[in-house]
Amino acid sequence: MKRKTTAMLGALALFCLLAVTAVLGGAQAPRPVAQPEPSIQTPRSTTTHPPGIELRDVDGGLDFYSRFTNGLPIERHFFPVGVWFESALEKDYVAKDRAAGLNTYVVLTPDSDLDLVRASGMHAIPTFAAAQASGYALGDEVDMWGGAGDAQWTGKFPGEGPICSPEESKCGYTVQKQLRASAPPGVMTYANYGKGVTFWLSDEQSRAFINGTQDLVSADNYWFTDPNICAKTEGGAITGYTRDLTDSECRLAANYGWTVERIRKLTEGNAPVWAFVEVGHPFEDSPQAATISGPEIRAAVWSSLIHGARGIIYFNHSFGGDCVTQHVLRDCPGEARPTVTSVNRQIQNLAPVLNAPFLDGATTATGPVDLATKLHNGKVYVFAGANKGTGGTVSFTVNCGGSTAVVIDENRTIPIVDGTFTDAFADGNAVHLYSIEGGGSCDY
């Protein structure tokens, strides 16, 4: 979750004030109730041949964004890569964002220049109406500070006074409904949720936020840096809320994929789910708080994509560590910017594949990885990321033929013998991307 300290409340209050300009809201964390299932995947089959292999479109369909006024591009080469709550005031800074491979601002400061955003080839999803915008952002983490309920909203946000009326009631559903009503007609609405939807609320309560409230949705769990997320009542969801997670279970890139799957379960694959990945030190310093590393950023992004995320949002604020700023990718030295730039370049190069259908069941693996198989232009691609902190050796069986696995951007190939190839995953941050050459495509 974002901005959970005294310093963070300032940033949250500013975000909330942006939303309140569109409409006429201390927060109380929801109590754990019925627990979500620890891991989910909900493929939607469009065909059933060959047996055991199913072609599944990306959630919402490739043309999803075309349903909206001034929607995001639906070309196969476009994949949304955003940054959270930035300012777009100066041409040089926007150019720097573009150079890092960003193409979307997800929430902007109110003084941002949306003409500059558009002229720079960027897209924007602000909390205010603008002709140049491609979306309209509702309340952030309302599941946590508004709670799951339909009580009256006072119009206030965290730090401004009582949010719901009566004060002890829950009004999060009301908040989002009122904010959505303020959105310009035909514009795509977006909202991000936090630990309420991912950990604390029942599926029924969570679906009331997720479905029919906004068009595009995300959730933010910062598995590498959050000092509290390993607790039984939070990340413990992965093991059925029976105990705290160990560091090796908790500080794991594969858990970013778990968060995506949690939201995909709630949407039933009917709408795009975007993923959040932090790029700095989102919490004030404590023994459990940390700064995310470059390999962790890359692995978290790819785990999210493997699990079906249709966009990536980088949380760009640091409230601790060596570079305290709300502009990590612009201001901070170190691994974050070069890593993000490299990952975004890879995403851009593979955008047509990421936008292509999944080929579920076409590849199986023996070993500690999560994987996704994609079909693009008659060619099979396999994306795999470690799901154990120690990594390990993995044997892949490709059921669509092929003689060679080309390891993308690694300058190496692996022979496929009797439909199988083997590769090593050095640790929990290992990711390998394969293009399968010299074989069929399961007749699709």
Tokens of 376: 């693009």
Closest C-alpha to 337, from 283, 304, 345? 345
Residue 333 CA to its chain's centroid (Å): 24
Helix (H, G, I), strand (E, B) or coil at 363: strand
Q: Say whether pLDDT at 38 is over 80.
A: no
Q: Using CA atoms in the order 167, 170, 173, 174, what is the torsion angle rounded to 10 degrees? A: -20
Q: Say whether pLDDT at 16 is over 50.
A: no
**What was the pLDDT predicted at 443?**
79
Task: Indicate the DSSP class of residue 415.
Answer: E
Is the CB of residue 82 less than 8 Å from the CB of residue 313?
yes
Model confidence, pTM: 0.91
Report the C-alpha gap between 251 and 89 in whole angstroms: 36
Count of CB atoms situated within 10 Å of the CB of 52: 11
pLDDT category of residue 2 using cuts at 50, 70 and 90 = low
For 282-333, the pLDDT digits (tens) are 999 999 999 999 999 999 999 999 999 999 999 999 999 999 999 999 999 9
Task: Indicate the DSSP class of residue 157.
Answer: -
Q: Say whether pLDDT at 21 is over 70.
A: no
Place of tokens 């150079």: 99
Task: Indicate the DSSP class of residue 140.
Answer: S
For 392-414, the pLDDT digits (tens) are 999 999 999 999 999 999 999 99
For 182-208, the pLDDT digits (tens) are 999 999 999 999 999 999 999 999 999
Q: Say whether pLDDT at 26 is over 90.
A: no
Is the CB of residue 57 less than 8 Å from the CB of residue 259?
no
Percent of the chain with pLDDT over 70: 89
**What was the pLDDT predicted at 49?**
57
Helical packing angle, 254-267 and 203-210, nearest 10°: 80
Question: Hey, what domains does the chain have and what are their CATH numbers?
Answer: 6-53+64-354 (3.20.20), 358-437 (2.60.40.1180)
Q: Say whether pLDDT at 231 is over 60.
A: yes
43-52, 72-81, 98-107, 331-340: lowest mean pLDDT where? 43-52
Closest C-alpha to 157, from 144, 134, 148, 366? 144
Task: Indicate the DSSP class of residue 149.
Answer: -
Helix (H, G, I), strand (E, B) or coil at 200: helix
Closest C-alpha to 33, from 172, 223, 207, 199? 199
Give, in order, the Cα–Cα distances in Å from 149 to each of 19, 175, 234, 302, 409: 20, 10, 21, 35, 48
**What was the pLDDT predicted at 440?**
76
Report the C-alpha gap between 194 and 173 in whole angstroms: 14
Give Dmax over CA atoms of the chain in angstroms. 67
Give, in order, the Cα–Cα distances in Å from 77 to each of 200, 344, 356, 408: 37, 13, 10, 17
Place of tokens 């100066």: 90
Angle at 222 between CA 136 and CA 37, to 5 degrees: 90
**What was the pLDDT predicted at 423?**
99
**What was the pLDDT predicted at 376?**
96
For 135-169, the pLDDT digits (tens) are 999 999 999 999 999 999 999 999 999 999 999 99
What are the two backbone dihedrals, phi and then psi, of residue 17, each rounded to the nearest 5 degrees?
-65, -30
Output the average pLDDT for the chain.
91
Which letter, b or e, does each residue of 94-131 get, where b requires 16 or more Cβ atoms within 10 Å of its Cβ?
Answer: beebeebbbbbbbbbbeebbbebbbebebbbbbbbebe
Beta strands 189-193 and 216-219, pairing class: parallel
Place of tokens 């309420």: 196
pLDDT category of residue 360 using cuts at 50, 70 and 90 = very high
Helix (H, G, I), strand (E, B) or coil at 381: strand
Mean of pLDDT values over 234-255 = 98
